[in-house]
Amino acid sequence: MPYDATLAPHAAADTAHDTIGGRISLARDAVGLTVEQISAVAGVTVETWTNWENDRAEPRANRLDMLARILQVSIGWLLDGQGTGPADTAA
């Protein structure tokens, strides 16, 4: 099958959010907060939040409910992309 450039942007966008870190980053952008702002709201260091977004660490299970509420997404969406995601990704 020949390369179709019209599919490339969608494929890149889809794979960018295939990890929990990518979904955390996408949801943070959707709520319009900086890493500094959201880490303060979540009660974690900027380093911890950055590690989550860059898939160097994952949030502990006891933080998932809090993260889902702050990010306005479902826990299932954070974990595996299934469920309620950020409002601006619904198309």
pLDDT, tens digit, 9 for 90 and up, residues 59-89 = 999 999 999 999 999 999 999 998 889 974 4
What tokens does 48 get?
């911890």
Q: Got the DSSP string for 53-84? A: HTTSS---HHHHHHHHHHHTS-HHHHHHS-S-
- Looking at the structure, give the CATH architecture of the domain made up of residues 8-89: Orthogonal Bundle (1.10)
14-53 residue pLDDT tens: 555 689 999 999 999 999 999 999 999 999 999 999 999 9
- What residues contact residue 76 under an 8 Å CB cut-off, 6+ apart? 82, 83, 84
Question: What local confidence, expressed as pLDDT, does residue 72 receive?
Answer: 95
pTM of the model: 0.77
Q: Does residue 3 carry a pLDDT above 60?
A: no
CA distance 49 to 34: 11
